[in-house]
């Protein structure tokens, strides 16, 4: 299921590949449904607990908590789409395109999934910028960061305000909804419906899992271009933020005392590495493959098949695309685990919530209590 890719283009042959069927393998029929089920059972409770902790258990309100609250809510919505996608891949090749499941996937699940993938991407970008601002302004190196000389002081001031974080999240939600939903509606109402009617006229009944649904049309395909550009812009911003912070940490270590800032900088370094790896593993492969898939689908040409029941020539590539889309969605499951592993306050509050009793986790730090409190705001900024 993809609403942002080119329609398969064929040559002027008598039998158009557009009426060919996709031939799902065990990857589509069994692996994808199983993994989407795993996504649901991990992302739903994990993000529900995260949302509860951020809203009810952490008393200090910071910009990072605003971002992470919105990120957890977005991941929660994304997890609700997983059961329908599991059913779609397991049953789509046996259901008609006008069945309730297929229409639900086209009109509701598709915009919900794509919107929340990019909402998460944009929020993570702002979390990275907040982390960058927190470290370069609260730790000191032999000389100030070049970014503090280039960027206006108001930029760092805004990133430290909860009101600014709230406005950013509001704009992110509005942009995602107003950009994804209209294109999805056009795709599902005009492109998919029109192709289905064309198939009926040719005497072929389209199944739910079909080229019509998986390949989409030209308008939704053109929308893919700015979406891909948006991803790489955000990814580049995050990468620049990470590299700037790493450089600043390296220079800061020679100017800080071991019992003050070194523990805080060490935690920051570990969090940067883990978050960057998760972002690269989950989102980057999908956005690298998407333009390749679009190009192949747009330029592919084939001769008339001798057997009208032949498989669509892009069947394998469609499965690869769907696996990588699942990988992008799986980031919604990884966030709660990152919060738990990387942040002591979140881990303490979560265990307290789950065990209904206080634990002594906050007494087992290698750094002193005063150092933990001094690094608390930076700890929050390092989440993502």
DSSP designation for 106: I
Cα–Cα nearest to 383, from 351, 337, 348, 349: 337
Q: Which residues contact 20 (CB under 8 A, 6 or more apart)?
A: 211, 305, 310, 311, 312, 313
Residue 269: which pLDDT band, with cuts at 50, 70 and 90?
A: low
Share of the chain above pLDDT 70, in %: 66
Predicted pLDDT of residue 324: 95
**Cα–Cα distance measured from residue 87 to residue 79, given in angstroms and rounded to the nearest whole number:** 14
What is the reported pTM? 0.81
Using one digit for the tens of pLDDT, what is the confidence trace for 189-235?
666 555 555 554 444 557 788 887 787 666 667 778 888 999 999 99
Q: Which CATH architecture has domain 17-302+315-381?
A: Up-down Bundle (1.20)
For residues 64 and 286, the model is more confident at: 286
Cα–Cα nearest to 10, from 217, 296, 303, 221: 303
Cβ(130)–Cβ(378) below 8 Å: no
Q: State both tokens at 123.
A: 């929020």
Q: State both tokens at 267.
A: 């935690």
Predicted pLDDT of residue 70: 93
Cβ(39)–Cβ(331) below 8 Å: no
At residue 62, does pLDDT exceed 60? yes
Domain ranges of the chain: 17-302+315-381
Give whole-number Cα distances, 252 to 130, 222, 236, 321, in Å.
18, 46, 24, 43
**Cα–Cα distance measured from residue 245 to residue 243, given in angstroms and rounded to the nearest whole number:** 5
């Amino acid at each position: 299921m993809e609403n942002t890719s080119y329609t398969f283009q064929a040559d002027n042959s008598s039998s158009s590949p557009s009426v060919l069927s996709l031939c799902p393998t065990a990857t589509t029929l069994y692996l994808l449904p199983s993994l989407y089920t795993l996504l649901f059972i991990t992302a739903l409770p994990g993000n529900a607990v995260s949302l509860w902790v951020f809203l009810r258990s952490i008393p200090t309100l910071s910009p990072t908590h605003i971002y992470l609250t919105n990120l957890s809510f977005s991941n929660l919505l994304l997890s609700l789409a997983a059961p329908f996608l599991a059913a779609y891949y397991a049953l789509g090749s046996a259901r008609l395109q006008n069945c309730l499941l297929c229409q639900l996937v086209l009109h509701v699940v598709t915009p919900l999934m794509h919107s929340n993938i990019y909402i998460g991407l944009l929020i993570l970008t702002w979390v990275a910028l907040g982390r960058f601002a927190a470290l370069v302004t609260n730790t000191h190196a032999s000389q100030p960061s070049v970014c503090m000389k280039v960027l206006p002081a108001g930029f760092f001031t805004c990133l430290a305000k909860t009101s600014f974080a709230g406005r950013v999240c509001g704009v992110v939600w509005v942009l995602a909804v107003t950009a994804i939903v209209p294109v999805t509606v056009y795709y599902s109402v005009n492109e998919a419906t029109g192709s289905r009617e064309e198939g009926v006229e040719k005497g072929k009944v389209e199944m739910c899992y079909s080229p019509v649904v998986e390949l989409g049309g030209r308008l939704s395909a053109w929308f893919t271009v700015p979406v891909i550009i948006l991803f790489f812009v955000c990814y580049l911003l995050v990468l620049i933020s990470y590299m700037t912070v790493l450089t600043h940490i390296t220079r800061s270590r020679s100017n800080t005392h071991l019992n003050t800032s070194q523990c805080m900088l060490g935690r920051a370094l570990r969090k940067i590495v883990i978050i960057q790896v998760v972002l690269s593993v989950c989102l980057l492969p999908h956005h690298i493959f998407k333009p390749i898939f679009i190009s192949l689908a747009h330029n592919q040409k084939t001769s008339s098949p001798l057997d009208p029941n032949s498989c669509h020539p892009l069947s394998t590539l469609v499965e690869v695309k769907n696996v990588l889309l699942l990988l992008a969605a799986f980031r919604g499951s990884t966030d709660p685990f990152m919060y738990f592993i990387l942040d002591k306050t979140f881990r303490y509050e979560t265990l307290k919530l789950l065990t209904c009793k206080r634990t002594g986790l906050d007494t087992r730090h290698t750094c002193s209590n005063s150092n933990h409190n001094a690094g608390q705001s930076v700890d929050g900024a390092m989440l993502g």
